[in-house]
């Protein structure tokens, strides 16, 4: 165990599997937890002076760590705190990157603020939400993020990135694409609507509230989302084997009109109709889960110690003693079959570390 400097402790050879929801992977050569902004700066200096590769760990919910682990420094950002500022119906919440995401959603809904109620039940921390532009059930965080406050490792100082600078796209942002590894997120500011109406874009939510004669409350929508997610094994429940996953493992493909026509024709030739949803620029988003199931990988499928959730075809699970290699082999088997059957290479959602 190293003290660097006096205020921050850096541990050696720390197991990472228990810090992830998938529960696979080897150790970190060095590990530090940042509870202050200065801790982040010190950790970056520690890694740079020793020429160590650097990785930022959030809630561990969207992550696959290699069996060999990570040869450098893993930094877990644990900065907390929630600060609110109101202007009429608009509420600005600035939240520490280490704050639990679902706890924030519960707090926001309890204060009758709209904007993230459909993102209930998503595991992980606040700092991870801008990276992947987390979205579900008709909402994306990009719709509410006002700005991101981050440590710029290239410039060696903090920086504020307003929403446009984050370059949000479907499950993507500058933080996991153009500027991958440059920024360490410290705080996120969200703009919410006090007293705003709930969002009911998603088909399952429409169905759930079909008989309601009034617009459902934010709390009713949150409870409905949690109920739907539990039924799909997408809420972390202690003792539930389907909870040992990284959530949705593949992104829903977004296709041009010509690409969609081609795959729809392929489905029709098999007597099938592929579900699709409108996307930006007249594109079509299709169901990755449908592609997986119609390529021979049903719920409960097993390949060695890795498998598919019994509740949702998009969740790859650790059945109890899986290694990262087992998860990767299953991932590749699914990708190869889907590409052979449908001509589409599924893109994984989780971050792969140490591979």
Which residue in 248, 276, 295, 309 is the catalytic one?
A: 248
Helix (H) or strand (E) holding 113: strand 113-114
CA dihedral 229, 244, 354, 66 (to 10 degrees): -150
349 annotated active-site: yes
Q: Which long-range contacts (CB under 8 A, 24 or more apart) does 329-337 make?
A: 329/303, 329/304, 330/303, 330/304, 330/306, 331/249, 333/297, 333/303, 334/250, 334/292, 334/295, 334/297, 337/295, 337/296, 337/297
Look at the block and give the residue holding tokens 């299709």: 286
87 annotated active-site: no
Q: Which two tokens stand for residue 53?
A: 């590769």
Which residue in 41, 76, 171, 222 is the catalytic one?
A: 171
Would you say 73 and 2 are in contact if contact means Cβ atoms under 8 Å apart?
A: no
Paired strand residues for 128: none
> In angstroms, rounded to a whole number, what is the distance separating the alpha carbons of residues 14 and 30?
7
> In angstroms, rounded to a whole number, what is the distance separating the alpha carbons of residues 79 and 355?
28
Closest CA to 350 of 13, 20, 3: 20
Which residue in 146, 262, 293, 349 is the catalytic one?
A: 349
172 annotated active-site: no
Closest CA to 185 of 70, 99, 86, 63: 99
> In angstroms, rounded to a whole number, what is the distance separating the alpha carbons of residues 295 and 310?
16
Q: What angle do CA 86, 92, 94 make, to 5 degrees?
A: 130
Backbone φ and ψ of 288, nearest 5°: -65, -35
Q: Which two tokens stand for residue 36?
A: 């202050």
**Residues known to be catalytic:** 171, 248, 349
């Amino acid at each position: 165990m190293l003290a660097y400097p006096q205020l921050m402790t850096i541990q050696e050879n720390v197991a990472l599997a228990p810090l992830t929801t998938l529960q696979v992977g080897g150790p970190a050569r060095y590990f530090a937890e940042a509870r202050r902004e200065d801790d982040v700066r010190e950790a970056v200096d520690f890694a740079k002076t020793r020429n160590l590769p650097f990785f930022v760990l959030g809630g561990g919910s969207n992550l696959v760590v290699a069996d060999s682990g990570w040869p450098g420094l893993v930094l877990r950002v644990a900065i907390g705190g929630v600060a609110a500022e109101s202007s009429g119906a608009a509420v600005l919440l600035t939240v520490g990157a280490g704050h639990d995401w679902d706890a924030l959603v519960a707090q926001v809904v309890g204060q009758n603020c709209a904007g993230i109620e459909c993102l209930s039940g998503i595991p992980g921390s606040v700092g991870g939400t801008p990276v992947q532009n987390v979205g579900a059930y008709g909402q994306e965080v990009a719709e509410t993020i006002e700005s991101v406050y981050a440590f710029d490792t290239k410039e060696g100082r903090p920086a504020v990135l307003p929403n446009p600078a984050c370059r949000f796209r479907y499950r993507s942002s500058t933080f996991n694409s153009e500027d991958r590894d440059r920024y360490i997120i410290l705080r996120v500011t969200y703009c919410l609507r006090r007293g705003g109406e709930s969002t009911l874009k998603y088909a399952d939510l429409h169905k759930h509230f079909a008989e309601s004669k009034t617009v459902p409350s934010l709390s009713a929508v949150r409870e409905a989302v949690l109920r739907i997610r539990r039924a799909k094994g997408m809420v972390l429940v202690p003792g539930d084997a389907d909870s040992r996953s990284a959530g949705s493992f593949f992104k829903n493909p977004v296709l041009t009109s010509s690409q969609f026509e081609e795959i729809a024709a392929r489905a029709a030739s098999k007597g099938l109709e592929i579900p699709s949803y409108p996307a930006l620029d007249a594109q079509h988003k299709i169901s990755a889960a449908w592609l997986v199931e119609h390529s021979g990988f049903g719920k409960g499928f097993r390949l060695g110690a890795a498998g598919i959730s019994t509740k949702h075809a998009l969740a790859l699970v650790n059945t109890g003693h899986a290694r990262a290699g087992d998860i990767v082999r299953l991932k590749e088997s699914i990708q190869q079959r889907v590409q052979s059957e449908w001509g589409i290479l599924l893109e994984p959602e989780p971050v792969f570390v140490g591979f």
